[in-house]
């Protein structure tokens, strides 16, 4: 068994966030926080091994892991991540696409939007106030 992106989720990493479409609802979402580091390594065979390697590599504590776990299971429930019968190496090396957020954030978040255009509106608000 392996965990892969649902192709209908259309996952795209944007700076330090992940933007995706939630297949079960058609809504769009932005995922932020430490979970992005882990998700940047998909696909993988064993989520526990991948999460342990992520915690070790990024020096993430239990609070960050618990927060990431909540979002992980939410992404599974929404169908954005799928479990499939596929052979992958047990401990794949860190991919070139790995995102390292540094030590700042502890909490992972999932922000839902009605349509992709809302991402632009949200980004515009962030740039104006910055």
> pLDDT band at residue 127, thresholds of 50, 70 and 90?
very low
The answer to whether 43 touches 2, Cβ cutoff 8 Å, is: yes
| Across 83-98, average pLDDT | 63
* 3-state secondary structure at position 17: strand
What is this structure's pTM?
0.75
Report pLDDT digits (tens) over 26-73: 889 999 988 998 998 888 888 888 889 888 888 888 888 898 999 999
Confidence of residue 79 (pLDDT cuts 50, 70, 90): very high
What is residue 59's DSSP assignment?
T
CA distance 70 to 54: 16
Handedness of CA 100, 104, 107, 111 (dihedral sign): negative
The two three-digit tokens of residue 108, written as one number: 């992972």
Residues 6 or more apart whose CB falls under 8 angstroms from that of 46 comprise: 90
In this predicted structure, what is the pLDDT of residue 95? 56
Mean pLDDT for 113-120 is 55
**19: helix, coil or strand?**
strand
pLDDT tens digits, one per residue of 93-107: 555 566 666 666 678
Greater pLDDT, 79 or 92? 79
pLDDT digits (tens, 9 = 90+) for 7-38: 999 999 887 889 999 988 888 999 998 899 89
Q: Residue 124's Cα: distance from chain center in Å?
A: 23
């Amino acid at each position: 068994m392996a965990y892969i992106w649902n192709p209908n989720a259309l996952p795209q990493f944007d700076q330090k966030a992940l933007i995706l479409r939630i297949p079960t609802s058609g809504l769009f979402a932005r995922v932020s926080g430490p979970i992005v580091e882990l998700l940047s390594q998909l696909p993988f065979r064993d989520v526990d091994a991948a999460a342990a390697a992520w915690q070790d590599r990024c020096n993430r504590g239990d609070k960050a892991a618990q927060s990431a776990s909540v979002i992980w299971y939410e992404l599974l429930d929404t169908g954005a991540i799928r479990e499939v019968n596929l052979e992958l190496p047990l401990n794949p090396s860190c991919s070139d696409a790995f995102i390292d957020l540094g030590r700042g954030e502890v909490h992972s978040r999932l922000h839902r939007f009605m349509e992709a255009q809302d991402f632009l509106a949200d980004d515009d608000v962030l740039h104006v106030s910055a």
